[in-house]
Amino acid sequence: MFDKEKSMDWLRTKIEKGKEELAKFSKISKLKLEISTLRKRKDERYKSLGKRAFKMVEEGLLDDPQLVADYDDIIKINQKIEDLELEVKAVKEAKSQFDVSNND
């Protein structure tokens, strides 16, 4: 036979468990968002620190061998980027064999 009281107790228990799970999920989501925000801020500080170290090596204020090696690598990468950008420009400006000339 159907026991209304037991069914209501079961339903109340499930609702309370659902509320607890929702509160737990909400708290975890809030904490993960805060962690993500802090990691982003940390990465921005690392980037800023790296730029300052780069500038200090460039100005001769830092001479740590590893920093100088990293600085040299960055200079080489920048040169490669410039070379590739010039190549892109040259390709864009190159005449196509399909260009029609007015002298024909």
Query: pLDDT digit string (tens) for 40-95?
Result: 999 999 999 999 999 999 999 999 999 999 999 999 999 999 999 999 999 999 88
Q: Is residue 34 part of a domain?
A: yes
Q: Is residue 32 part of a domain?
A: yes
Domain count for the chain: 1
| Token pair belonging to 60 | 């001769």
Q: Is residue 11 part of a domain?
A: yes
Q: Which domain holds residue 28?
A: 1-47
Distances (CA, A) of 18 to 6, 39, 47, 73, 85: 18, 31, 43, 55, 58
Q: Is residue 41 part of a domain?
A: yes
Place of tokens 């509160």: 23
Q: Is residue 67 part of a domain?
A: no
Query: pLDDT digit string (tens) for 1-48?
Result: 678 888 889 999 999 999 999 999 999 999 999 999 999 999 999 999
* pLDDT tops 70 at residue 96: yes
Q: Is residue 80 part of a domain?
A: no
Q: Is residue 84 part of a domain?
A: no
Q: CA 6, CA 56: separation in Å to the nearest integer?
A: 74
Report pLDDT for 5: 87
Encoded amino acid at 36, one letter: S
